[in-house]
Structure 1
Amino acid sequence: MRYTLELVYSGVAIGAIYGLMAMAFAMTYKATGLLNFAQGELGMLIAYISWSISTALGSSTWALVGGALLSSIVLGLLIERFIMRKMIGQPVFSAVLVTVGLGVIITSVVLMIWGGEQQRVDVQYASDIVVFAGLRMRVSQIAVIVVLLLALALTHVFFRYSRFGIAMRAVAADARTASLMGISVSRVQAVAWATSSVLAGLAGLFFAVSFELSPSIFTLGLKSFPATVFGGLDAVIGSGASGIFIGVFENLVGGYVAPLLKEIAGFLMILVILMVRPFGMFGQKDIERV
């Protein structure tokens, strides 16, 4: 029983990181109808930038977090303005290929600037152990769970009660009609890309703090994608919550079935889900697949 609880606890922690990245995928898709397959690479780049800023300022935790937020917003806006906005009106497949190419470019830039060596991100108290119900968890694991819950709550409030959130929902439903009603589609999409970038950046940063900072962080996008499909490509909150489910499921499979199956457990799960609910557990039935 204790072993199972340990698997569940650690699964919730890694699942929270998956959830943040999955929300990033869903946020972009909800506003633009486009999957950004450079999401993992973007999270990796933001983690490196924030680590460099923090190191230059004396390993300050606030500098690390502030650098991640600032760099993610700037990168998200720049990508939307100078790359993705040029793809408006182009075939969806072409736009998706642009994001794939963008991911390759980001990886190359990271390797050229920072190299491929593993780095340690030192954050005060992050490695401290907290004992809860007889189980040990690191502060960084608790922090990422809290951040995911906060992100889910803020997203709910944003989409349900804010005027801009309602405008984003309108654009997601029908961009042409929303534009005719006076909603700035380009502004909505810019905010969506910036928000998506922030979520991806937080996921990459928490992964770097909890494990290591290396170019392998880009695989976080691939490992988080099952949570997006499970929750629904257009369901931001559902995708975030599904990240925890995928994380726990992976840990249980790795702990009780076979460690090698842990890496593919999430993808096996979505194969089953897609056969039963092709639109995801929380997605809309009429969404268009890429």
Structure 2
Amino acid sequence: MQYFLQLLISGLAIGAIYGLIAMGFAVIYKSTGLVNFAQGEMTMITAYIAWTISTTVSGNVFVVAIGAILAAILLGLIIERVVMRPMLGEPVFATVMVTIGLAVILRSAINFIWDAYPHGLDVGMGRDIVRLGGIGVRTGQVAVIATLLTLLAAIWAFFRYSKIGVAMRAVAADDRTALLMGISATRVHALAWAASSVIAGIGGVFFALSYDLSPAMFQLGLKAFPATILGGLDAVLGSGIGGLLIGITENLAGGYVSSGMKEVAGFLMIIVVLMIRPFGIFGERDIERV
């Protein structure tokens, strides 16, 4: 039982990281209708900036957190303005290919700006071990689960009650009608990219706190994408929950079946779910009237 609980908590922790990055995917898709295949690389860049701040400016956790959030916002806004805005009105396939090219550029930038060696992000917390019912858990694991749950509640309230959240939903539903109603689609897109960058960047920083920081971190995007599909591409909250489900499934499969199953368990899970619900667990079915 103790082994099961250890696997469950570890799965929830890594699943929370997947969930944060998956929510980043969903925020952009819900607002623009696009899948950003550079999400993992944006996550990695934010984590590297956090590490740079901790080693050159200050290792204080609040300074690192604020610096990383501001850097993530700036990164998202630059990408939206310089790369994505000129693609407005272009075919979806062309725009998706642009995000793939952006992913390659950002991945290569790590070696140019930093290096190819692993690093540890040390801000004086996150790697301490606490005992919960006889089970050793890192404080960073507890923090990332709490952060995901807090963001899930905050985003639910944001989309439901705030004017900006309603505007983002309107643009996602029909951008032309939203424009006629006085909603600026470009501002909504910029906000979506900034928010997506911050949410996913938080996941990357937590991963660096609990594990190592390396150029291989871009694979977090590949790990989190099944969570987005599982929860529903148009369901931000569902994507966060999908991340938890993927993390738990991977850990239990790796612990009870084999380490090799850990890599494919998440993809097997989404195959089964999509055969039953092609739009994801929490996604909405598209209905076309003719």
Q: Please give the TM-score of this superposition, normalised by the length of structure 2.
A: 0.97
Q: Is the 8 A contact 1:116 1:215 kept in 2?
A: yes
Unmatched runs of 5 consecutive residues or more in structure 2:
none
Cα distance in 1 for residues equivalent to 2:234 and 2:213? 30
* Range with bigger deviation, 20-29 or 112-121: 112-121
Contact 2:58–2:64 (CA<8 Å) still a contact in 1? no
The question of 1:204 aligning with 2:224 is answered no
1:75–1:197 contact (8 Å) kept in structure 2: yes
* Structure 1: distance between partners of 2:62 and 2:116: 26
Residues of 2 paired with 1:175 and 1:125: CA distance?
Answer: 44
**1:187 to 1:9, Cα distance in 2 relative to 1, 3 A:** same
Query: Superposition pairs for residues 212-251 of structure 1, below 5 Å?
Result: 212-251=212-251
- Bigger shift: residues 30-39 or 279-288: 279-288
Deviation of 1:84 after TM superposition, in Å, equals 0.4
Distance 1:47 1:56 in 2: 14
Deviations 1:70-104 (A, max 9, x none): 00000101111111011111110110010000010
Asked if the contact 2:37–2:96 (Cα under 8 Å) also holds between the matched residues in 1, the reply is yes
* Residue type at the aligned position of 2:2: R
**8 Å CA contact retained: 2:73, 2:197:** yes
> What's 2:181 paired with?
181
CA root-mean-square deviation: 1.1
- 2:79 aligned partner: 79
Q: Matches of 1:51 and 1:287 in 2, distance apart?
A: 46
**What residue in structure 1 maps to residue 67 of structure 2?**
67
CA distance in 1, matches of 2:70, 2:44: 15
**Preserved contact between residue 121 and residue 209 of structure 1 (Cα < 8 Å):** yes
Does residue 253 of structure 2 align to residue 261 of structure 1? no
Q: Is the 8 A contact 2:117 2:214 kept in 1?
A: yes
Q: Is the 8 A contact 2:54 2:121 kept in 1?
A: no
Partner secondary structure for residue 120 of structure 2: coil
Partner of 2:281: 281
Q: Confirm or deny: 8 A CA contact 2:231 2:280 kept in the other structure.
A: yes
Cα distance, 1:12 vs structure 2: 0.3
Aligned-pair distance for 1:51? Answer: 1.1
Secondary structure of 1:131's partner? strand
Distance in 2 (CA, whole Å) between partners of 1:113 and 1:176 is 41
- Deviation at residue 287 of structure 1 after TM alignment: 7.9
Q: Normalization by structure 1: what TM-score? A: 0.97
Q: Is the 8 A contact 1:41 1:218 kept in 2?
A: yes
Measured in 2, the distance between the counterparts of 1:166 and 1:42 equals 26
Deviation at 1:21, TM superposition (A): 0.3
Whether contact under 8 Å (2:21, 2:200) holds in the other structure is yes
Which stretch shows the higher mean deviation, 114-123 or 25-34? 114-123
Q: Which amino acid aligns with 1:87?
A: M
SS at match of 2:286: coil
Q: Structure 2 counterpart of 1:241, which letter? A: I
* Equivalent position amino acid for 1:30 in 2: K
Say whether the 8 Å CA contact 1:279–1:287 is kept in structure 2.
no
2:123 partner SS: coil
Runs (4+) off by over 4 Å: none
- Counting only pairs closer than 5 Å after superposition, residues 140-179 of structure 1 correspond to structure 2 as 140-179=140-179
Deviation sequence 1:14-63 (CA, Å, 0-9, x none): 00000000000000000000000000001101111121122112322122
Q: Which residue of 2 aligns with 1:35?
A: 35
Structure 1 pair 46–287 and aligned structure 2 pair: CA distance change class (3 A):
farther
Structure 2: distance between partners of 1:54 and 1:130: 24
Distance (Å, rounded) in 2 between the aligned partners of 1:113 and 1:181:
44
The worse-fitting range, judged by mean Cα deviation, of 123-132 and 179-188 is 123-132
In the alignment, the residues of structure 2 paired with residue 287 and residue 222 of structure 1 have an alpha-carbon distance, to the nearest angstrom, of 29
Listed as ranges, the matches of 1:124-143 within 5 Å are 124-143=124-143
